[in-house]
Amino acid sequence: MKKYLVILLSMFLATGVNTASAENIPMKLWYDTPAKEWMTDALPLGNGELGAMFFGGVTNEHIQLNEKTLWSGSSTKRGAYQNFGDIYISFTGDSSYTNYHRELSLDDAVGTVSYKIGNKTYLREYFVSNPDSVMIIRISTPKHKHAINMSVSLKDAHKGTTTVDATGISVSGTLDLVSYNGRLELVAEGTVPVRTTNGLKVNGANAVTLIFAAGTNYDITSENYLGFTSAQLAAKIESRVKAAKEKKYTLLKDRHIADYRKLFNRVSIDLDADFPDIPTDQLVKSHNESRYLDALYFQYGRYLLISSSRGMNLPNNLQGIWNKDNNPAWECDIHSNINIQMNYWPAEVSNLSELHLPFINYVAIEAGRKNGSWQKLANKIGCRGWYINTQNNIFGYTDWNANRPANAWYCLHLWDYYAYTMDKQYLRSTAFPIMKAACEFWFDRLKADANGKLVAPDEWSPEQGGWEDGVAYAQQLIWELFDRTMRACNVLEYNDNFTTELRSKFDQLDNGIAIGDWGQIREWKVQPDIKGNEHRHLSNLMALYPGCQISQSNNKDYAEAARTTLISRGDMGTGWSRAWKISCWARLGDGDHAYKLLKSALKFTDYIPLSMDNDKGGIYANLFDAHPPFQIDGNFGATAGISEMLLQSHNESIDILPALPSAWKKGSIKGLKAVGNFTIDIDWIAGEPSKCTLMSGSGQPCKLRLPNGKLPATITTDGKPVNYTVIDGTVCFNTQPNTYYLIKL
- Give residues in contact with ligand FUC (CB under 6 A): 318, 330, 335, 337, 339, 463, 536, 574, 576, 627, 631
What's the burial of 23, exposed, middle or buried (CB within 10 Å: 0-12/13-18/19+)?
A: exposed
3-class secondary-structure state, position 724: coil
C-beta closer to ligand FUC: residue 467 or 494: 467
702-705 and 653-656: which strand pairing? parallel
Q: Which is nearer to ligand FUC, 61 or 625 (CB)?
A: 625
Amino acid at 719: G
* CB nearer ligand FUC, residue 309 or residue 574: 574
Q: Is 311 helix (H, G, I), strand (E, B) or coil?
A: coil
Q: What is the DSSP string of 133-187?
A: TEEEEEEE-TT-SS-EEEEEEEEESSS-EEEE-SSEEEEEEE-SS-EEEEEEEEE
As measured in angstroms, the least distance from the Cβ of 571 to ligand FUC is 17
Instruction: State the nearest-atom distance from the C-beta of 463 to ligand FUC, in Å.
Output: 5
Residue 530 to residues 38, 381, 465, 475, 514: CA-CA distances in angstroms?
39, 33, 11, 20, 15
Task: Output the smallest distance, CB 335 to ligand FUC, in A.
Answer: 5
The least distance separating ligand FUC from the CB of residue 541, rounded to whole angstroms, comes to 15
Please report how close the Cβ of residue 441 comes to ligand FUC at its closest, in angstroms.
22
CB of 334 to ligand FUC, least distance (A): 10
State which amino acid sits at residue 575. G
Which spans in 344-397 are helix H? 345-349, 357-367, 373-380
Least separation in angstroms between residue 612's CB and ligand FUC is 6
The H-or-E segment that residue 539 falls in is none
Q: Which is nearer to ligand FUC, 330 or 473 (CB)?
A: 330
Q: List, in sequence order, every residue forming a beta bridge with 114; answer none if it has no partner.
A: 101, 123
- Contact between 154 and 87 under an 8 Å Cβ cutoff? The reply is yes
Q: How far is the CB of 329 from ligand FUC (least distance, A)?
A: 7
Look at strands 268-270 and 207-216 and give their pairing.
unpaired
Q: Give the residue with the Cβ less far from ligand FUC, 396 or 634.
A: 634
Q: How far is the CB of 81 from ligand FUC (least distance, A)?
A: 12
Between 85 and 637, whose beta carbon lies closer to ligand FUC?
A: 637
CA 102/CA 118 separation, integer angstroms: 19
Residue nearest to ligand FUC (CB): 330
Measured from the CB atom, is 299 or 631 closer to ligand FUC? Answer: 631
CB 410 within 8 A of CB 387: no
* Shortest distance, position 720 Cβ to ligand FUC, whole Å: 52
Q: Closer to ligand FUC at the Cβ: 291 or 537?
A: 537
Our CB check for ligand FUC shows the closer of 337 and 485 to be 337
Minimum Å distance from CB 676 to ligand FUC? 33
Least separation in angstroms between residue 71's CB and ligand FUC is: 16
Nearer to ligand FUC among residue 238 and residue 463 (C-beta): 463
Q: Are 723 and 733 in contact (CB under 8 A)?
A: yes
- Considering beta carbons, is residue 63 or 632 the nearer one to ligand FUC? 632
Phi-psi region of 272 (alpha: psi -120 to 50; beta: other; left: phi over 0): left
Whole-number minimum distance, CB 627 to ligand FUC, in Å? 6
| Residue number with CB closer to ligand FUC (341 or 631) | 631
| Cβ closest to ligand FUC, residue 375 vs residue 574 | 574
Instruction: Give the H/E segment covering residue 7.
Output: helix 2-13
CB 210 to ligand FUC: min, Å = 34
> Is the Cβ of residue 295 or residue 538 nearer to ligand FUC in the bound state?
538
Round to whole Å and give the CA distance between 457 and 14: 58
Distance in angstroms (rounded) separating the CA atoms of residues 723 and 715? 8
Nearest to 78 by CA among 185, 196, 176: 176
- C-beta of residue 530 within 8 angstroms of C-beta of residue 565: no
Cα angle 382, 412, 457 (rounded to 5 degrees) comes to 35
In angstroms, rounded to a whole number, what is the distance separating the alpha carbons of residues 33 and 103? 10
Which is nearer to ligand FUC, 24 or 401 (by Cβ)?
A: 401
Q: Is the dihedral of CA 540, 545, 551, 556 positive or negative?
A: positive
| Rounded Cα–Cα distance for residues 335 and 392 (Å) | 6
Residue closer to ligand FUC (CB basis): 105 or 391: 391
Whole-angstrom CA distances from 717 to 210, 532, 691, 734, 742 are 51, 52, 14, 11, 6
* CB neighbourhood size of 486 (10 A): 15
Q: How many CA atoms lie within 13 A of 716 on its CB side?
A: 9
Provide, rounded to whole angstroms, the least separation between the CB of residue 391 and ligand FUC: 9
Q: What is the DSSP string of 432-478?
A: HHHHHHHHHHHHHH-EE-TTS-EE-SSEEETTEEEEETT-HHHHHHH
> Minimum distance between the CB of residue 471 and ligand FUC, rounded to whole angstroms?
16
Q: How far apart are CA 708 and CA 71, in angstroms?
A: 51
Taking the complex as a whole, the smallest distance from the CB of residue 132 to ligand FUC amounts, in Å, to: 33
- What spatial distance separates the first Cα and last Cα of the chain, rounded to whole Å? 36
Return the SS3 of 272: coil
Kindly state the smallest distance separating residue 525's Cβ from ligand FUC, in Å: 22
CA angle 591, 592, 594 (to 5 degrees): 65
Nearer of residues 114 and 539 to ligand FUC, judged by Cβ: 539
How many other CB atoms sit within 10 Å of the CB of residue 401?
A: 14
Our CB check for ligand FUC shows the closer of 114 and 339 to be 339
Residues 6+ apart with CB under 8 A from 100: 32, 33, 34, 58, 113, 114, 115
